[in-house]
Structure 1
Amino acid sequence: MSPTVFAPWNNPDEKPLIRFKNVTKKFGEFVAIDDLSLDIYAQEFFALLGPSGCGKTTMMRMLAGFENPTSGRIELAGQDIAPVPPNKRAVNMMFQSYALFPHLSIWDNIAFGLRRDKMSKDAIEARVAEMLKLTRLEKFARRKPHQISGGQRQRVALARSLAKAPKLLLLDEPLGALDKKLRQDTQFELMDIQESTGTTFVIVTHDQEEAMTVASRVAVMDEGRVIQVATPAEIYEAPNSVYVADFIGDVNIITASTKAIGQDQYHLNWIEGQPPLTATSALPFSEGQQAHLAIRPEKIKISTDRPEDAPNALQGKVLDIAYLGNLSTYHVELPGGQVIKAQTANTRRIARRDITWEDPVWISWSATAGVLLAQ
């Protein structure tokens, strides 16, 4: 039997843990959040993703209680949280700077909030021991923050945030200060910890790779609005707009006018003097409507000979090659001047690089390789 897939958002009977209902937040004349509605479910690892200034941190600060909505309401477990002060919410926030107390040991940093809550000594000891084990910090309990590494400090901040067993943990760019390799390792640790505690995590990040790695669902934001909410796979394979396609990973966008040629099939007239491209789309497009074909570079084949039977085959010349060890990305200039990226996996030990700069090449892709977008 396959394990049941965690997808409470597909179950109409499931009640969300967090509800944004038509929330607007203004700072003076500036609209930071614009009539936003969003549901987040218990035990989700939810990512708010977008460029600087898109409103993701403002949403998080409203959840934490540092800001109140100008209009609309935010509910936590069915309750309007606006009147509840930050220290009375079942919500904890982990800051990018970690905000550890430098003069306290790791043990005392984790125990700090529990002591303030007047928890009994035995209960504190048991809870801190549990948190140290969860974050693999038992050996460092007596050290001060400056005596451990950045990655370990990050885990102390996480342990301290989880010690009070919040319903919801907010993480503001939590891995921003770590180097790339450590960040990747820590992403998997975060996922394991989130899964073993069952706490709902909401992470704010501008790093698409991070959001795609850790999250059960991602909300892609722009200018105070949510553009698309979906699983990482759906966001990557079925973006709802050029903005989302372009924000996540690498993509080629070809703008064309559409002409239906059968059930869900379209011809795309993209440039004078070139044969039309063929694409499929479940979304309907009218005759002559402008559309944008978004195709990921790894879905485009590159060859020196004209491919047989490919519905889309274009000739161009190689402008540039980016060699990334496991992948090579070829930048191919087409007759009209448009540059298309095609990616190949380097599976052999020594790549017999039969395609090089300035070479004439063919690029090709299937009718289903791209997504046809209206906006």
Structure 2
Amino acid sequence: MAQTVFAPWDEPAEKPLIRFRNVTKRFGSFVAIDDLTLDIFEREFFALLGPSGCGKTTMMRMLAGFEDPTAGAIELAGEDIAAVPPNKRAVNMMFQSYALFPHLSVYENIAFGLRRDKRPKADLDDRVAEMLKLTRLEKFARRKPHQISGGQRQRVALARSLAKAPKLLLLDEPLGALDAKLRQATQFELMDIQEKTGTTFVIVTHDQEEAMTVASRVAVMDEGRIMQVATPERIYEAPDSVYVADFIGEVNIVSGRARAIGDERYAVEWQEGQTPLIAASERPFADGQPCHLALRPEKVAIHAEQPSDIDNAVQGKILDIAYLGNLSTYHVEVPGGQVIKAQTANTRRISRRSYTWEDTVWLSWTPTAGVLLPE
């Protein structure tokens, strides 16, 4: 049986779990969130991604009830939550610091919220056991937080947040305190737990790799506005703006002026005396309109000789080489002084480098390799 793709945002009949409607949040004269409208659906793993100060944590704090919108409305499951105090919302929040009780065991940390809700003992025991199993902490139930590792503490905080079965779990930079290897492993654990529980997760992060790994959709933010909301694949392959293209991953941005040369094909005049670059684009451009070609380094091939029968071939000189183990990135200066990065995979264990510093090389790419963007 074919697996159905999870994409409720493409279904007009689907009702969002969370709805931001024209939400503005001001702190004095500073606008933290600027007339923002956004839908998040049930069972989504949604990432708010952006640099420090872009408003992502403010959005999360408004969802949790720690801040109120200055204007607009936030709905949870069709209900305006403005008047609902934080402790009465079907929302839980996991903080970057985990905020575990140092004097309580792992078991008691997870049970804390359930005890406050006066759950019957048998129910409470069953629920904590379920959470310990989900987060693979059964062996550590009697230990105190200082007796377990950072990754395990992170899982305790997660288990405690999920114990009361919230409709929505907010995660504020949850993996920030973990080292790179553990962070990677924990990302997959988070995805697994989210899928098993069916809880809607909203994660705030400035780590693009994290957002691209865990999320069903990513909202890229800047200065209180959402620049683009899409699946990680679309954000990377079809960015809406130079800002989004530049924010996610490595990219070459070549500026020029567009001229239509056929059906959804444009010549980009980018440097005087140079052959125009050819780009395919469904987005229309007027003749002479300023444009930017966003081109990922892995889509740029590098050659010793001028390649034939290729639309885009540019000669340049290697300025720098970054060897990253699995990849090598060549920084190539092309006419006019712009540096274009080209990436090659190091597929053989020991291979003599084909190109070195100061070599003259040719770069090439197909018309569909880049994304043509307006100013």
The verdict on a shared fold, with TM-score over 0.5 as the criterion, is yes
Q: Quick one: distance in 2 between partners of 1:297 and 1:361?
A: 15
Q: How far 1:257 sits from its partner (Å)?
A: 0.3
Name 1:290's counterpart in structure 2: 290
Aligned pair 1:206/2:183, yes or no?
no
Name 2:230's counterpart in structure 1: 230
Q: Quick one: distance in 1 between partners of 2:310 and 2:107?
A: 63
Q: How far 1:217 sits from its partner (Å)?
A: 0.1
Aligned pair 1:349/2:341, yes or no?
no
- Match of 1:174, SS state, is coil
> C-alpha deviations, 1:241-265, integer Å up to 9, x for none?
0000000000000001011000000
> C-alpha deviations, 1:102-142, integer Å up to 9, x for none?
00000000000000000000000000000000000000000
Aligned pair 1:367/2:367, yes or no?
yes
> C-alpha deviations, 1:242-301, integer Å up to 9, x for none?
000000000000001011000000000001111100001000000100000000000000
Q: Quick one: distance in 2 between partners of 1:332 and 1:365?
A: 14
Task: Give the unaligned 5+ runs of structure 2.
Answer: none
Alignment of 1:108-257 (within 5 A): 108-257=108-257
Q: Quick one: distance in 2 between partners of 1:324 and 1:373?
A: 29
Q: How far 1:352 sits from its partner (Å)?
A: 2.0
Q: Quick one: distance in 1 between partners of 2:262 and 2:310?
A: 18
Name 1:299's counterpart in structure 2: 299
Aligned AA for 1:272?
A: E
Contact 2:271–2:335, Cα closer than 8 Å, also in 1: no
Q: Quick one: distance in 2 between partners of 1:207 and 1:68?
A: 27
Report percent identity of matched pairs. Answer: 79
TM-score (norm 1): 1.00
Q: How far 1:335 sits from its partner (Å)?
A: 1.6
Aligned AA for 1:103?
A: H
Name 1:8's counterpart in structure 2: 8
Contact 2:256–2:292, Cα closer than 8 Å, also in 1: yes
Contact 2:43–2:198, Cα closer than 8 Å, also in 1: yes
Aligned AA for 1:172?
A: D
Q: Quick one: distance in 1 between partners of 2:238 and 2:2?
A: 25
- Match of 1:286, SS state, is coil
Moved over 4 A (4+): none
> C-alpha deviations, 1:180-227, integer Å up to 9, x for none?
000000000000000000000000000000000000000000000000
Q: How far 1:95 sits from its partner (Å)?
A: 0.2
Aligned AA for 2:349?
A: R
- Match of 1:33, SS state, is strand
Task: Give the unaligned 5+ runs of structure 1.
Answer: none
Q: How far 1:349 sits from its partner (Å)?
A: 1.1
Q: How far 1:2 sits from its partner (Å)?
A: 2.2
Name 1:67's counterpart in structure 2: 67
Q: Quick one: distance in 2 between partners of 1:209 and 1:35?
A: 28
Q: How far 1:99 sits from its partner (Å)?
A: 0.1
Name 2:99's counterpart in structure 1: 99
TM-score (norm 2): 1.00
Q: Quick one: distance in 1 between partners of 2:62 and 2:13?
A: 26
Two-structure CA RMSD over aligned residues (Å): 0.4
> C-alpha deviations, 1:144-164, integer Å up to 9, x for none?
000000000000000000000
Aligned pair 1:58/2:58, yes or no?
yes
Alignment of 1:38-53 (within 5 A): 38-53=38-53
Alignment of 1:273-284 (within 5 A): 273-284=273-284
Contact 2:54–2:222, Cα closer than 8 Å, also in 1: yes
Name 1:332's counterpart in structure 2: 332
Aligned AA for 1:112?
A: F
Q: How far 1:170 sits from its partner (Å)?
A: 0.0
Q: Quick one: distance in 2 between partners of 1:59 and 1:246?
A: 23
Q: Quick one: distance in 2 between partners of 1:165 and 1:259?
A: 56
Q: Quick one: distance in 2 between partners of 1:21 and 1:210?
A: 27
Q: Quick one: distance in 1 between partners of 2:292 and 2:352?
A: 35
Aligned AA for 2:114?
A: L
Q: How far 1:351 sits from its partner (Å)?
A: 1.8
> C-alpha deviations, 1:12-71, integer Å up to 9, x for none?
000000000000000000000000000000000000000000000000000000000000
